[in-house]
Amino acid sequence: MSQKVAIVTGANRGLGLETCRQLGAQGLKVILTSRDAEKGQAAAAQLTAQGMTVEYHPLDVTNEDSIQQLKNTVLERHGRVDIVVNNAGIFSDPKEPWTAFSANIDTLRTSMETNVYGPFRMCQVFIPIMQQQHYGRVVNLSSGMGQLSEMNGGVPGYRLSKTALNAVTRIFADEARGCNVLVNSLCPGWVRTDMGGPEADRDVSQGADTIVWLATLPDDGPNGGFFRDRQPIAW
């Protein structure tokens, strides 16, 4: 079989970039995407210089045309899509005050657009290709902040979006069943990135471990699950 093709969203920095690095190190062909072309090209060049097969493509997950263009280009050049890592995400709740009482509904909408409808569109576009190939792995970057079993107050935009993203995982995992397409969510832990901040207790390498594990699951791997540190966690 030809080299597997993996698409990673929001990959110019943070967990997305590290995921590309770890997938590239395993010999996969990586399509590193970002909405800022200059930053994405620089990130891809950095990995190519380390001997990995990495290609840059622009992608804004809130833009339907942008997703379609990505699909067309990747199919034209490579003829397949094996892995999609829905990593792009935003934390748009204001730092203070960040209660549900003070939340601006537009902030909630913005969070949903990137963190939920973006991955939803990616699943709509790429899972049918995976079904035809009888192989596919989709990884959705969720968060412990989206766990209903642990749900507390604060940051409603981010929390709502990650809970809803877990529903996206369950819905597509069920609809894609039977075609060797595995769709899963994970929480990477608290990771030192622009989003996680310098106080976080994990580096990107630890944070990306479960992402890459889910992206490369064997055919008998889990489907429709939620994981941290390669272990199932409560929804």
Ligand X SMILES: NC(=O)c1ccc[n+]([C@@H]2O[C@H](COP(=O)([O-])OP(=O)(O)OC[C@H]3O[C@@H](n4cnc5c(N)ncnc54)[C@H](OP(=O)(O)O)[C@@H]3O)[C@@H](O)[C@H]2O)c1
Site track for ligand X across 155-194, x = CB under 6 A: --------------------------------xx-xx-xx
At closest approach, how far in Å is the CB of 146 from ligand X?
9
Q: Which DSSP letter does residue 191 get?
A: B
Q: What number of chain residues touch ligand X (CB under 6 A)? A: 30
Residues 6+ apart with CB under 8 A from 66: 58, 59, 60
Contacting residue, 8, 12, 122, 155, with ligand X by CB under 6 A: 12
Contacting residue, 36, 64, 174, 229, with ligand X by CB under 6 A: 36
134 by DSSP, 3-state: which?
A: coil
At closest approach, how far in Å is the CB of 226 from ligand X?
12
Does 147 contact ligand X by CB under 6 A? no
**Selected range binding ligand X among 29-37, 46-54, 175-183, 218-226, rule: CB under 6 A:** 29-37
Does 90 contact ligand X by CB under 6 A? yes
Residues 6+ apart with CB under 8 A from 47: 20, 21, 24, 30, 32, 54
Cα–Cα nearest to 177, from 145, 115, 218, 130? 130
Q: Which is nearer to ligand X, 12 or 223 (CB)?
A: 12
Distance CA 44, CA 178 (A): 34
Q: Which DSSP letter does residue 145 get?
A: G
189 by DSSP, 3-state: which?
A: coil
Judge residue 24's burial from the number of C-beta atoms within 10 Å of its C-beta, 0-12 exposed, 13-18 middle, 19 or more buried: buried
Does 61 contact ligand X by CB under 6 A? yes
Q: Which is nearer to ligand X, 54 or 59 (CB)?
A: 59
Binding site for ligand X (CB under 6 A): 9-10, 12-16, 34-36, 59-62, 87-90, 114, 141, 143, 187-188, 190-191, 193-196, 200
